Amino acid sequence: MSVARINGFADMFEPESSVFTMMEEHCRAIFPTYGFHEVRIPILEYTDLFCRSIGQETDVVQKEMYTFPDGKGRLTSLRPEATAGIMRAYIAASLNSKEQVSRLYTFGPMFRHERPQKGRMRQFHQIDCELLGSASPLADADVISLLEQFITSLGIGRLTLRLNSLGCSECRPKYREALIAYLEKHESELCEDCQRRLHTNPLRVLDCKKDSQQDFMKDAPRILDYNCPECREHYETATGLLKDSGIAFVQDDHLVRGLDYYCRTTFELQSDDIGAQTAVAGGGRYDGLIKSLGGPDVPGVGFACGMERLALLMKSPDPKKPDFYTVSLDPSCYGLAYRVSRGLRLAGLTGELGYVSSSMKAAMRQAGKSGARYAIIIGSDELARNVCAVKNMDNGNQEEVAVENLASYISTKD
């Protein structure tokens, strides 16, 4: 009986894996230009971290986390997102005492037990970026600018940047009361999930995609109308900076984040090219999160990108052809073939070493399958004279090259 793959957990081979590698390479090339540094955090944390950061009443905590006790009975969970783990690491390392502003990013697998769907598996991957230590709207605009530059570098078009302000702990409670009062008038028209959220997490009702709710939700109170003067000024400054730099966006009064820790500026990149799940990246400000986890009162702003969803919008990179494939026509040639292949790799070339001796016809067939630019053929005659027959697999031309000249010969050929 074969061992089955778990539903919602995917294997990934090329060319799909090369798309993910390309995203990671773009992160490492672009994020440092904004002063961000890579951090690696565990995929397993104590469950309480996510309950305190994400929110006890969220769907993530209530229904979606992979949670189990450790050997001492303490509840642990596979991370459903990366922000909480970065905050814990920030607190543990006392980074606030070492630098005024910390700029951190990471990427890797996350886990949520929900119905697998296009662009979102139970094990999925995210790129996460956090700026900690600044409450300035300049930081909001800078992080959004980084996201926009990163997405553009991947060659992805037809995306819409949506923005909203969620207010703060001073002004949002008044909006929450007004929203609940409005929703109570339409309670019978709400879907089952929204009825459950009505008094525990009413802002999530704004995010519901059920067609039956769209008409009356158009007249729901706008959170911007309830922003205090400080929140309003913060949002106007951040959006003004984006306008001045030519970054287009849409004001979306129904845009909220699914996690409790967000405040003030919130944003999302959406695509119409991947089906019902339109969001490919999103984030915002979370000024009280670190304090709520027992750390210092440090503001923050950040975003996360769903790598599977970005991959749906990207073209797979053209595979790079190997430089060589080494062929042994006789077992006595194994030593030279091995040394030649190793030398070429140390010189920065890529290629495969054939592991068994073959007839010329079979050897050329294997070299052709490898996709290599050159076949390096070593028989007893070549071994005796310390040379190799080098065949151009594109035009069929073949030359004899001394072993010591092989690397330079292949490197200088187109």
pLDDT at 165: 92
* Bridge partner list, 269: 161, 281
pLDDT for residue 276 is more than 60: no
What is the spatial order of strands in the sheet that 123-132 belongs to? 37-38, 102-111, 123-132, 300-306, 279-285, 263-271, 159-165, 250-251
Mean pLDDT, rounded, for 136-146: 96
Of residues 77, 84, 71, the one with CA closest to residue 41: 84
pLDDT at 174: 87
Reported as a pLDDT band with limits 50, 70 and 90, residue 212 is low
What count of residues does the chain have? 414
Percent of the chain having pLDDT more than 70?
Answer: 94
Write the DSSP string, 174-239.
HHHHHHHHHHHTTGGGS-HHHHHHTTT-GGGGGG---HHHHHHHTTSPPGGGG--HHHHHHHHHHH
Whether omega before 15 lies within 30 degrees of 0, making that bond cis, reads: yes
Residue 377 CB coordination number (10 Å): 24
CA angle 270, 11, 45 (to 5 degrees): 75
Cα torsion angle, 256, 260, 261, 264, sign:
positive
Q: Where are the beta strands (DSSP E) in 308-386?
A: 324-328, 351-353, 374-378
pLDDT for residue 119 is more than 80: no
Highest mean pLDDT among 44-48, 258-262, 270-274: 44-48
Q: What tokens does 221 get?
A: 């109170």
pLDDT for residue 181 is more than 90: no
pLDDT for residue 188 is more than 80: no
pLDDT at 92: 94
Of residues 161, 156, 197, the one with CA closest to residue 179: 197
CA angle 145, 147, 153 (to 5 degrees): 100
Mean pLDDT, rounded, for 159-181: 87
Long-range contacts of 107-111 (CB under 8 A, 24+ apart): 107/23, 107/24, 107/27, 107/307, 108/40, 108/43, 108/82, 109/43, 110/78, 110/79, 110/80, 110/81, 110/82, 111/43, 111/65, 111/66, 111/78, 111/79, 111/80
Q: Do residues 166 and 223 touch, judged by C-beta distance below 8 A?
A: yes
pLDDT for residue 129 is more than 70: yes
pTM of the predicted model as reported, rounded to 2 decimal places: 0.85
What are φ and ψ of residue 6, in 5° steps? Answer: -70, 135
Instruction: Give the C-alpha separation, 199 to 270, whole Å.
Output: 28
Percent of the chain having pLDDT more than 90?
Answer: 52
Mean pLDDT, rounded, for 360-379: 90
Summarize pLDDT for 19-58 with one digit per residue, the tens: 999 999 999 999 999 999 999 999 999 998 988 887 766 6
Q: What is the mean pLDDT of the chain?
A: 88
Helices 137-153 and 16-30 meet at what angle, rounded to 10? 140
pLDDT at 298: 94
Q: What tokens does 149 get?
A: 């530059």
pLDDT at 101: 94
Residue 300 CB coordination number (10 Å): 27
Instruction: For residue 23, give the amino acid letter.
Output: M
Q: Do residues 165 and 265 touch, judged by C-beta distance below 8 A?
A: yes
Summarize pLDDT for 221-256 with one digit per residue, the tens: 888 888 999 999 999 999 999 999 999 999 988 887
Instruction: Give the C-alpha separation, 381 to 163, whole Å.
Output: 71
pLDDT for residue 277 is more than 60: no
Instruction: For residue 207, give the amino acid letter.
Output: D
Question: Quick one: how many helices (H) and strands (E) in the chain?
Answer: 15, 16
**3-state class percentages of the chain: helix first, strand second, coil last, to nearest 5:** 40, 20, 35
Instruction: Give the C-alpha separation, 168 to 165, whole Å.
Output: 9
pLDDT at 56: 67
Write the DSSP string, 93-145.
TTGGGT-SSEEEEEEEEEE--S--BTTB-SEEEEEEEEEES---HHHHHHHHH
